[in-house]
Amino acid sequence: MTVLRRLVIATVLVVLILVPTVVLLAITHQPSATWASMGAIVGLVAVVFGGLEVGIITAVVLALLAPVAIVAGLTPITGAALMALMTLMVGRMARFGLNRALMLVPIFVAWPMLAPVPWLPSSVLDLVKHRIDTKGVKLDAWGTLFQGSTPHHAGRMHEIATLVLKYNRLDHTYLAWTAVFFFVGTMFMVVVGHLVARKMHLPATSVSRTRREVIPYTVTITVLASVGTYWFLDHPKQTAGAFFIATVLVLSQVGEVSELRLTLERVAGTIGGALLMMLIVTQVHSVSLVEVFGCPLPVQMIVLGAVFGVLAVTARFGRHQWIYYALIVPTTACLNGMTVKQASDVGTQRVIDNLVGAGLILIVMGITVVSAHIAGRKASDGTSDGQMSASVVPAAAGSQGGTSSS
């Protein structure tokens, strides 16, 4: 496949992924409509690696999990428990080779759990529109947007903003629309992906795994992801926790611990992408919010994320996978700029999260390799002993037979 053809396919995919967000944004005028693109990515991956049935089930499960995750994020223990349940299911599905089809579910559910985009009431939207039209609003000033010039007005809007951020997680309208955003985005790409896969006659990609391969993988992702979720919910100033969850799940492998080069390539690409994102975020002060369908959005960041997304998908079909991982990091961060509560700090936190996550994965992988080596030696010793016993028994039987005949 030529580079031009890969570029065209990647561009079409990115445009299709953004379609549900544009439609739902026009309907609701809410920044959280961007979650539909997350669902679209999940749906595409699910239908490619698992087929139509798995894709439909994934759409339903993701739509049900998203509002539950928002409520579970109220306390560290409930958030960690939900993450443990999701990763245990991913580990179980690895037995049938479906972990890649479902892996993105806990990754993208981590965003509404750890850094939910608020549902803005009409009064807040009107204030934002007014500020954009008169003074302009920068992305890094999103958190201080409600500090107006009039004390009474500023105090009132600050009170409204505080209540929105505090009680959004229990708002029925917000939770219901969250489920709709994820379901519509996922189902849209499930249908589109199924039609494309059927026309292109794509082969099945799921590979069954043995229990011996699945158990270390399941333990790794469950322990690291659930502990990480607890930590980030218990330390709300750490705003890039969802990136840590993504790092753990993306870098963890099933039955491929011997392919050290592949894992190191993924780690290097992810860290390189984090450094690239850190450079991008240093310019976040110059990114202005723009009113789109009555909703304030960092359009420059979204366009930049779409460009990185096209390049990442193009690189995915290439030989050097580290390029894909280096590009997918800024893609995810730029397309989800509104989920970042402290945009100016996310670059540094992103690098730290990747370093910690990658280091933990390498440590666990080393332990797994050593354990597998020890288990293999024991198995080979047991086989040697069994063969020796099998050769001794016939000899002894023959000796006894000769004695009795004599």
Choose among 71, 153, 165, 55: nearest CA to 121: 165
Task: Say yes or no to pLDDT of 267 above 90.
Answer: no
Structure confidence by residue, pLDDT tens digits, 152-197: 444 454 455 545 555 577 888 899 999 999 999 999 999 998 888 7
Mean pLDDT of the chain: 75
Contact 360, 252 (CB under 8 A): no
Winning range, highest mean pLDDT, from 87-91, 149-153, 231-235: 87-91
Q: How far apart are CA 175 and CA 170, in angstroms?
A: 7
Write out pLDDT tens, residues 336-378.
665 544 444 455 555 565 566 666 666 666 665 565 556 555 5
Amino acid at 140: D
Question: Cβ(158)–Cβ(63) under 8 Å?
Answer: no
Distance in angstroms (rounded) separating the CA atoms of residues 146 and 148: 6
**Residue tagged 């917000």 (tokens):** 174
CA atoms of 113 and 78, how far apart (whole Å): 10
Which helix (H) or strand (E) segment holds residue 184: the answer is: helix 172-200
pLDDT in tens, 130-152: 666 666 655 555 555 544 444 44
CA distance 85 to 107: 13
Identity of the residue numbered 235: H
- The whole-angstrom separation of Cα 286 and Cα 280 is 11
Q: Residue 344 has what pLDDT?
A: 44
Q: How, if at all, do strands 290-292 and 295-297 pair?
A: antiparallel
Angle at 109 (CA atoms; ends 103, 114), nearest 5 degrees: 130
Task: Quote helix, strand, coil % in the chain, to nearest 5.
Answer: 80, 0, 15
* Burial (CB count within 10 angstroms: exposed 0-12, middle 13-18, buried 19+), residue 359: exposed
Alpha carbon distance 24, 181 (integer Å): 7
Determine the residue type at 217.
Y
How far apart are the C-alpha atoms of 33 and 180, rounded to whole Å? 9
Q: Are 108 and 38 in contact (CB under 8 A)?
A: yes
Range list of β-strands (E), 101-247: none
Distance of CA 92 to the CA centre of its chain: 18
How many residues are there in the chain? 406
3-state DSSP assignment of residue 217? helix
Number of C-alpha atoms within 13 angstroms, CB side, residue 307? 6
Give me the sign of the Cα torsion angle 167, 226, 190, 309: positive
Does the pTM of the predicted model rise above 0.75?
yes
Per-residue pLDDT tens digits for 109-132: 998 898 888 787 777 677 766 666
Percent residues over pLDDT 90 in the chain: 21
Q: From CA 26, how far away is CA 30, in angstroms rounded?
A: 9
Query: Going by C-beta distance under 8 Å and a sequence separation of 6 or more, which residues neighbour residue 6?
Result: 313, 314, 317, 318
Residue with tokens 């209540």: 163
Q: Which of 94-108, 147-161, 340-354, 382-396 ranks highest by mean pLDDT?
A: 94-108
Q: Which among 387, 137, 157 has a CA at the least distance from the CA of 287?
A: 137
DSSP line for 293-315: TTEEE-HHHHHHHHHHHHHHHHH
Say which amino acid occupies 331: T
User: Which amino acid appears at position 241 of this protein?
Assistant: G
